[in-house]
């Protein structure tokens, strides 16, 4: 038995199962594990379309080492917002970065609550941001360079 599961306007998955129960299990897995990652419909700021990007950046503390950043990039040249994903330390799983650590404005250190847990705040625009432009390297490619 086979089913097509549409995550968004950009991505449809083909699921296979021996019967309705197995197919139901696979749809449940997609809902829990894949929809938070691939279910984004459009840019959270301008509502424009986006593309999937894996960006490599050199580790400033270990020259020659690189980090991979998994992002969605808005294709509207007037917006250029980005949506970031984090990578779990264990396993091979991405998660949408919808919160930021709260930092003390005076010390720059991460704030913790009474129980010692890191304090977090929800990102505006469903996680989409143009903040990256403030820190962009001069020679970093932009969307205009893609064409």
Identify whether residues 34 and 64 lie together within a single domain. no
pLDDT digits (tens, 9 = 90+) for 34-48: 888 888 889 999 999
Identify whether residues 7 and 77 lie together within a single domain. no
- If one counts the domains in the chain, the total is 2
User: Can you give the pLDDT at residue 17?
Assistant: 92
Residue 44: CB atoms within 10 A of its CB come to 19
User: Can you give the pLDDT at residue 49?
Assistant: 92
pLDDT digits (tens, 9 = 90+) for 36-92: 888 888 999 999 999 999 998 887 788 888 888 999 999 999 999 999 998 888 877
pLDDT at 139 over 70: no
Identify whether residues 15 and 73 lie together within a single domain. no
Tell me the pLDDT of the chain averaged across its residues.
86
**What Rg do the C-alpha atoms of the chain give, in angstroms?**
19
Whether residue 147 is contained in a domain is answered as no
Q: Cβ contacts of residue 135 below 8 Å, gap of 6+? A: none
Q: Quick one: average pLDDT of 99-109?
A: 88
- Tokens matching residue 120: 């977090």
Angstrom distances, CA of residue 115 to CA of 30, 104, 112: 34, 17, 8
CA distance 128 to 97: 9
Q: Are 8 and 39 in contact (CB under 8 A)?
A: yes
Task: Give the range of the structural domain holding residue 61, as residue numbers without chain letter.
Answer: 50-141
Q: Are 31 and 7 in contact (CB under 8 A)?
A: no
Element holding 44 (H helix, E strand):
none
- Tokens matching residue 111: 């704030």
122 pLDDT band, cuts 50/70/90, is confident
pLDDT at 2 over 80: yes
User: Can you give the pLDDT at residue 140?
Assistant: 52
Identify whether residues 24 and 93 lie together within a single domain. no
State how far Cα 84 lies from the chain centre. Answer: 3
State how far Cα 40 lies from the chain centre. Answer: 9
pLDDT at 127 over 60: yes
Closest among 121, 37, 119, 118 to 83, alpha carbons compared: 37
141 pLDDT band, cuts 50/70/90, is low
């Amino acid at each position: 038995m086979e089913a097509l599961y549409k995550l968004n306007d950009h991505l449809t998955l083909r699921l296979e199962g021996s019967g309705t129960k197995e197919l139901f299990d696979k749809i449940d897995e997609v809902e829990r594990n894949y929809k938070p990652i691939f279910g984004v419909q459009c840019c959270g700021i301008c509502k424009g379309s986006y593309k999937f990007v894996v960006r490599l950046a050199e580790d400033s503390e270990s020259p020659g080492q690189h980090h991979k950043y998994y992002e969605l990039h808005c294709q509207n040249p007037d917006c250029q917002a980005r949506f970031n994903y984090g990578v779990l330390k264990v396993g091979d799983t991405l998660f949408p970065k919808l919160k930021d650590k709260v930092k003390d404005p005076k010390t720059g250190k991460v704030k913790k609550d009474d129980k010692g847990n890191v304090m977090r705040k929800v990102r505006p625009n469903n996680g989409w941001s143009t903040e990256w432009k403030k820190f962009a390297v001069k020679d970093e490619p932009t969307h205009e360079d893609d064409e």
